[in-house]
Amino acid sequence: MSLPTPAAILGVPYDASSSFRRGPARAPATIRAALLSPAGNSWTETLVDISDASVLTDAGDIEIDPADPRGSITNGVERVIVANVHPILLGGDHSITYPIVRAVRKASPPLTIVHVDAHTDLYDEFEGDRFSHACPFARIMEEGLAARLVQIGIRTLTRHQREQADRFGAEIIDMRAWSRGARPDVSSDETVYLSIDLDGLDPAFAPGVSHPEPGGLTVREVLTIIQSLEAPMTAADIVECNPDVDPTGITSQVAAKFLKEIAAAMQTIPARWLNPPSDRSVQA
C-alpha cells in the first residue's frame, strides 16, 4: 500500500450556472470559518488530526475567469494534483463537478463517482444551458469520465432524468430504496470520486441550500457513507451550500464536518494516481 498523501482544500467560488438562486460562490469562506471555529477541534471521529499538514493543507481558491470558468476550474485542480495531494473542492454550485472530474480523470484510474444529492443532475440541458448545475453528470458520463455513477438520496426524478439515468447506466438509490435498506456497493479495487450536494440532506439538517427538498438523508447517514467506503478516494467535492439562506451557519458547519471526515478517509485508504505527480508543495 502506498503512503498517504495529504488532502488539500480548494475553494471554487462559482455559482453562475445556478438556477433559481445564487449564493454558493460565497460558501468556501463560510465553510473554512466553520472548520476553524473554536467551537470545535481539529480531530475527526476516527482520531485523525486534520491540523497536521501531512493530513490536510489549504490551497486557497481557484481564480475564475468569467470568459472560461470551466477551463479555470480544470486548470486549478490540475495544479493541486501536480502538487501530489488529493483535492477536496468547496463549491460553488454543482456545475463545478464536471470540470473537476475532467482534471482528476487525467491522473486517476477509472472513477466510480459516489454522488449524494436530492437531484440526479442528469439533464441534457436546463433552461437552455448544457453546463447548468442541473447537468454535470450528463456531461461527465457522455465523455466517459466515470466507469460508474452511484447516486444516493435522490427524490426529484423527472421522466427525462430517468431516461438519462438509464442511458448512462446510473445506479440510483433513491430515498425510498434507502429507507428499505439499499446501500452503495463499492469494492476495494475501485477508485472513488465523492460528490456531496448538501441538498441531499433533509432541510432539517442543512437548511442553507438553494433548492431544499424534504425527505432526505441525515448528517449521520452521510457520515456513515463517507466512513464506510472501502475503496480509495482520490478527490471529492462539497457543493451547493448557500450562506445567503443559512443565517445560523449550520449548513456550513455540516459541510466542514464532512470535509474533516473526507480528509480522514483519504488517509485511511490511500488513493493512487495513475501517473504519479511530481513532488511539489501547494501554493495557495
Question: What are the distances in angstroms from CA 110 to CA 31, 134, 173, 193, 267?
Answer: 30, 23, 21, 10, 20
Q: Where are the domains of the chain?
A: 7-268
Neighbours of 203 (CB within 10 A): 18
β-pair partners for 236: 88, 194
Q: What is the pTM of this model?
A: 0.93
Cα distance between residue 75 and residue 199, in whole Å? 27
For every one of its 284 residues, what pLDDT tens digit does the chain have, with 9 covering 90 and above?
455 678 999 999 999 888 888 899 999 999 999 999 999 999 999 999 999 999 999 999 999 999 999 999 999 999 999 888 999 999 999 999 999 999 999 999 999 999 999 999 999 988 888 888 889 999 999 999 999 999 999 999 999 999 999 999 999 999 999 999 999 999 999 999 999 999 999 999 999 999 999 999 999 999 999 999 999 999 999 999 999 999 999 999 999 999 999 999 999 887 777 664 454 444 43
Instruction: Classify domain 7-268 by CATH architecture.
Output: 3-Layer(aba) Sandwich (3.40)
Q: What is the pLDDT of residues 33-74, one digit of tens each?
A: 999 999 999 999 999 999 999 999 999 999 999 999 999 999
Question: What are the distances in angstroms from CA 261 to CA 9, 49, 123, 228?
Answer: 13, 10, 30, 11
